[in-house]
Structure 1
């Protein structure tokens, strides 16, 4: 149960930095780090495609500022809190199909039973997952994906890779994303407009849930790109090791310990901001 809380917190952090990439366009000059063409004093061996990645992150930032953030704000304004929560729960329940499959592929048999029970309870008593009944029955949410499965099989992640719209990742993560997409039962519903519409709705829902916390990544580091990269690798490491990564793991070019404390403090503020936003009364 405790590991699930830890991993959930790490996911909150990575969603902040990946879904929003945080910050207004006017703030980006001071956040982008080294100027274009300037020599870099430190090259991260995990990021040989840094020039490409920075360009794509800049594109994603602009897309978020001028499209996703306004759409998410409109969704949040128009959607009652209980409906918003229900939509989030529904997509989380759909995700449990992939979680169960990856439980089996990683030979986590006890967790497979827990997640199968969670899915059955929420799909029936929880009205297709809109109500998270399983959490009240001590069936916690787990986070397993095909990228983690490949990691447990010994497949290396490969270099850091930022993709348009999708955000931070790696070559292994791209394969993992494809596998999880194939495991999503919604994607087999016809006509094709239903899966596409569901995917767009989920993306907006996630972005709206992160609105209250997106400014935190801007406060995290002078070079936001490096912070997001390090946060991504640390989050994946936590997931792969079920919240208990090896001690002394290096997350950022020799800055592993400092990065851990920095992320923990930012994560705590992120979770506090999210909880405060959820506690606000619903506007009439």
Structure 2
């Protein structure tokens, strides 16, 4: 770990890309994930919300947020950010003790706000290019670079995964915490569903929202203006926002009544 930290001391941040060459495949995977969500995952999340109240859901969410803090702490070290690692370790310990096992979040009130990072951000801070935008079955939005956070964070840093992996039970009950975590996260996402429903193309909305969120994670919430312009395509020759808006309106007229998740936009 210390050797990796030394190697990362001089790392640079890779700029994002704006193209989507895998769009045809991505839209199919988006449609698959959306169908799976509507058929199985969302109904379970709806049932979860019916049998719990907001304080209970908040406590469960706080517990899982805290128990997964080793993911952030481990990647803080890989990113050569020892101060962040110490601060997040302190936050985790405070919530485990004063916060009664992590079901409450006194650390935030004590001036230790939640910080999230992962192995995808670590690779970006190494300077590894983002690669193509990629929608993974079951996992959702990602990139060629970010997809590595799933096995690395899950195998090395996620306590829930490590606990389940090192225990054996006939009916697989040790995977129950991971399942509850996923249901809790899906329940929290229901509050943002109206934004997705109002989008003329949910696939594009999700893609751009994901890219923007990752960009702000990489730059600690303050990405340079030129990087934002590159993400939005403003740096491309011949960029005309009025033309783009006109193409969007034409696409909407041509595809009225279609499912925008599976129909590619005009641009």
Alignment of 1:80-91 (within 5 A): 80-91=53-64
Query: Structure 2 vs 1, CA of residues 206 and 244 (structure 1 numbering), >3 Å: closer, same or farther?
Result: same
Partner of 2:13: none
Partner of 2:161: 187
Distance 1:119 1:100 in 2: 10
Name the count of aligned residue pairs.
Answer: 213
Query: Structure 2 vs 1, CA of residues 184 and 194 (structure 1 numbering), >3 Å: closer, same or farther?
Result: farther
SS at match of 2:231: coil
Matched, 1:226 2:204: yes
Matched, 1:198 2:177: yes
SS at match of 1:169: strand
Distance 1:255 1:70 in 2: 43
- 1:224 Cα deviation after fit: 1.9
Q: Which structure: larger Rg?
A: 2
SS at match of 2:129: coil
Find the partner of 2:222 among 241, 244, 264: 244
SS at match of 1:214: helix
Distance 2:18 2:222 in 1: 24
- 1:45 Cα deviation after fit: 5.9
TM-score in terms of structure 2 length: 0.75
Matched, 1:178 2:161: no
- 1:101 Cα deviation after fit: 0.9
TM-score in terms of structure 1 length: 0.70
Matched, 1:78 2:51: yes
Give the unaligned 5+ runs of structure 2. 1-16, 242-267
How big is the alpha-carbon RMSD for the aligned residues of Structure 1 and Structure 2? 1.9
Partner of 1:141: 114
Partner of 1:211: 190
Give the unaligned 5+ runs of structure 1. 1-43, 259-284
* Deviation digits for residues 200-227 of structure 1 (CA, Å, limit 9, x no counterpart): 111110111122321212213x222122
Matched, 1:235 2:216: no
- 1:255 Cα deviation after fit: 8.6
Contact 2:196 2:202 in 1 (8 A): yes
SS at match of 1:162: strand
Contact 1:145 1:180 in 2 (8 A): yes
